[in-house]
Amino acid sequence: MSLLLKINAALAVAFVVCFVAAGWVAESSLEASARREALAQAGLMMDSALAIRAYTAEEIVPLLEERLKTQFLPQSVPFYAATQNFLKLHARYPQYTYKEAALNPSNPRDRATDWEADIIQRFRNDPAATELSGERDTATGPALYRARPISAKPECLSCHGLASAAPATVLARYGRDNGYGWQANEVIGAQIVSVPLASAQASAGETFKVLMVSLLLVFLALWGAVNLALYVLVMRPLRRTARAAERLSVGELSAPDFPEGGGEIAQLGRAFERLRKSLEKSLKLLEG
């Protein structure tokens, strides 16, 4: 195997190792970035829901105080307002979901499913937990969820304490069976946002492909440049030196001069040139 082939083999091995390592690092980094992007979307949706709840409590409820004395209006409930707003979004983007799930809600629509109940129970078991996140499979593909606990505030107990003490307007709408018996500061539910991973992962996949193709093209360009430099600076002078040395070895003292210049190859050429002169002197002495 020639020197050039050996060098190229070493370069190929080094490239494959670096390519695989770079691919692994890039894929891990892009996957983590996709998850962060999805969680950031979930956080934005959650904060939007909090803003809707605050707006309802601060600006809508005061306008309805007189009417609420004779009629219960679910639109005056901040949780209801936030949920209704995101139902409009869900109609256009079904893969995004928002729910204020509760273990014992007044509205059956808000009752927690099994996986939501597990999240609520985790908040109940760990009062210090302020947020949970994770991944789950859905009908539209993998999704990330982000959840925060919902605790019963003292003012909530006027409607959700004992059923016998609940306002008649609430009882008329929801009955006496659900949404009662809450305790002050008890975790009764969770605010849960679920966002798809597919779009973020697809974007990360495209970026990964572009990165790896770019890395391959860079290697090919470097490989060509290295081979050109090796040929011009190393292989061609070495071959000239080898041809001249071979002719000198069979007694052709008139062989072409060895390559000149700097570097190790030129030093080798100068050593052969000194050898040629020594041979010439030796032959002249023998002839004399």
pLDDT at 262 over 60: no
Which string of b and e fits 217-234 if b means at least 16 CB within 10 Å? Answer: eebeeeeeeeeeebeeeb
pTM metric for this prediction: 0.65
pLDDT at 45 over 90: no
pLDDT confidence bin for 114, thresholds 50/70/90: very high
pLDDT at 150 over 80: yes
Assess contact for 103 and 188: CB atoms under 8 A: yes
pLDDT at 16 over 60: yes
Which of 119, 43, 110 has its CA nearest to residue 83? Answer: 110
Higher pLDDT among residues 28 and 201, named by residue? 28
Spell out the domain ranges in the chain.
14-196, 205-287
Higher pLDDT among residues 113 and 65, named by residue? 113
Angle between helices 198-230 and 3-55 (to 10 degrees): 160
pLDDT at 70 over 90: no
Q: Each residue of 158-206: pLDDT tens digit?
A: 888 888 888 888 888 888 888 888 888 899 999 999 888 877 778 788 8
